[in-house]
Each structure stands twice: as structure tokens, then as C-alpha cells.
């Protein structure tokens, strides 16, 4: 099951484990927070874009009671590793990981077929020559294979009318987030800013959009990660450890 440089990490949910490769991008706080922020109801189907090692579909399956989760990942080796985690946890009847390019998503799935789309996208704009396009870690951080607008386009194409799109991103990309979301019929509905500590400015923002939704944005109370140095707040501790 495990290959060179791989390890099994405990997800503290339903006994689930996740295969990760220490030489590739490993999941962080943002993915865990997004999996908690995003909601899926019984009978709904969920698509996770840029799914990486499969952390978000697996965590969401542990917390929600919906029918099916699909993960789309462009890097073939990463997608294969994610699918092995799905099989290891016995979730292959509920979660399916596929290798594919979200910029060509309408050639992979039928349009308007998902109730929920999630994405923990690359945050940083790629500059020509600045990053190694064959580096898995760079691809997870930088807009090498897709841009923020590409993600919005893909989410809009896949969502049913009234469907929900959940995303986590850097606060400094908010202007782009608003521009691209409305351009592609994704109306911002809820946002929650993530602060490392009470006295620090937010670095990340959790976002919920509605496909063709009416204008009305709710700003939720801030999410504080640390109560003190190295000590999670109760809320974040509960998110991590159920």
C-alpha cells in the first residue's frame, strides 16, 4: 500500500487514515478548516477541485451524510495516491478520485450535475520562470495548472442552479475573488476570516457562494486558530480532533 517516502497520518475521524508523501505537498490547516466549513446534505453530490491527496473528500465524508464525493486532481501520481487512501479507508463506494484538468472539466463531467463544489486552490499567482512546473509542492501553491478564475469557471459549470461553492483563499485575493465569482454567476453568501491569534490580522478567508444566488453577504464571526503560542483554541481543537 505505501510507497517510498509515504506515510499514514491519522485524521482523527472515524478511524480514517491518509497516505501522504513527505516529498510532496502535505495538507495543512486550511484544508481541515474548509472541510468543516463546507456542508453537504443527504442525497447531494460533491465535487472537490484540486483535490490533491484527497483530504477534503475524506474528511467531509466523515462529517456529512451525502451520497457521493468526487475529487479531481491534475497530477496523476497525486490522484493515484489519493485513491489508495480512499481504498485503505474502505470508501471506494462513496468517494472517487479522478485525474484530470479542471480547465477542461466540461469534457470530463456533464454540466450542472453537482450540488456542492469545494476547492482549496493554489493561492499564489505564478510568474513566468519563477517556479518549477514539475514540482508537486510548487503546483499546490502556485497557479501553474489553473488560476483563481479557472477554478470559478469550473465550479460554475459543474454546479446545479442554487448549488453551493466552498473555497478557502488568501485574504489579499479578496478583490479577485469578488470580481471572478460574480463574473461567473457565483454570488458570495457567507465569509469567515481566519486569524492566527486574536490580535493578528486575518490571513485566510473561508467563502461560500451560491450559483445564481441573490445578493446578500453574511460575514461570520472570526475564526481564531491559536489561544496562545502552539495552543489551539477550543473551536479549532474540536475541528481537528472531533
End-to-end CA distance of the chain: 27
What domains does the chain contain, in order, with CATH numbers?
Answer: 6-241 (3.40.50.150)
pLDDT on residue 115: 97
Give the integer Cα–Cα distance in Å for 119 and 128. 24
Instruction: Return the closest-CA partner of residue 209 out of 139, 175, 159.
Output: 159
Give the 3-state secondary structure of residue 164.
strand
Phi then psi for 140, rounded to 5 degrees?
-75, -25
pLDDT 10s digit of each residue in the chain, 242 long? 788 888 999 999 999 999 999 888 888 999 999 999 999 999 999 999 999 999 999 999 999 988 899 999 999 999 999 999 999 999 999 999 999 999 999 999 999 999 999 999 998 887 644 555 556 667 667 778 899 999 999 999 999 999 999 999 999 999 999 999 999 999 999 999 999 999 999 999 999 999 999 999 999 999 999 999 989 999 999 998 87
Query: Quick one: 113 exposed, middle or buried, by C-beta within 10 A (0-12, 13-18, 19+)?
Result: middle
pLDDT on residue 142: 77
143 near 125, Cβ under 8 Å? yes
Give the integer Cα–Cα distance in Å for 117 and 127. 27
**Taking the CA of residue 58 as centre, how many other CA atoms within 13 Å lie in the half-sphere pointing to its CB?**
31
pLDDT on residue 59: 96
CA angle centred on 229, ends 226 and 232, rounded to 5°: 30
pLDDT on residue 25: 81
Give the integer Cα–Cα distance in Å for 4 and 202. 37
pLDDT on residue 128: 47
Amino acid at each position: 500500500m505505501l510507497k517510498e517516502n509515504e506515510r499514514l497520518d491519522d485524521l482523527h475521524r472515524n478511524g480514517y487514515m491518509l497516505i501522504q508523501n513527505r516529498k510532496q505537498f502535505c495538507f495543512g490547516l486550511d484544508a481541515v478548516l474548509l472541510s468543516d466549513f463546507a456542508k453537504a446534505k443527504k442525497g447531494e453530490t460533491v465535487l472537490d477541485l484540486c483535490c490533491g491527496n484527497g483530504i477534503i473528500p475524506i474528511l467531509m465524508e466523515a462529517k456529512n451524510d451525502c451520497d457521493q464525493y468526487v475529487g479531481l486532481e491534475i497530477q496523476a501520481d497525486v490522484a493515484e495516491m489519493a485513491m489508495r487512501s480512499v481504498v485503505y479507508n474502505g470508501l471506494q463506494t462513496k468517494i472517487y478520485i479522478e485525474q484530470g484538468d479542471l480547465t477542461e472539466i466540461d469534457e470530463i463531467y456533464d454540466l450542472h450535475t453537482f450540488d456542492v463544489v469545494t476547492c482549496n486552490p493554489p493561492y499564489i499567482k505564478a510568474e513566468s520562470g519563477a517556479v518549477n512546473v514539475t514540482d508537486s509542492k510548487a503546483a499546490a501553491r502556485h497557479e501553474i495548472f489553473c488560476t483563481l478564475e479557472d477554478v470559478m469557471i469550473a465550479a460554475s459549470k459543474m454546479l446545479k442552479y442554487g448549488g453551493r461553492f466552498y473555497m478557502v483563499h488568501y485574504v489579499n485575493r479578496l478583490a479577485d475573488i469578488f470580481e471572478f465569482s460574480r463574473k461567473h454567476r457565483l454570488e458570495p453568501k457567507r465569509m469567515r476570516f481566519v486569524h492566527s491569534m486574536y490580535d493578528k490580522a486575518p490571513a485566510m478567508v473561508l467563502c461560500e457562494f451560491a450559483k445564481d444566488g441573490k445578493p446578500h453577504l453574511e460575514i461570520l464571526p472570526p475564526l481564531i486558530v491559536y489561544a496562545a503560542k502552539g495552543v489551539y483554541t477550543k473551536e479549532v481543537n474540536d475541528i481537528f480532533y472531533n
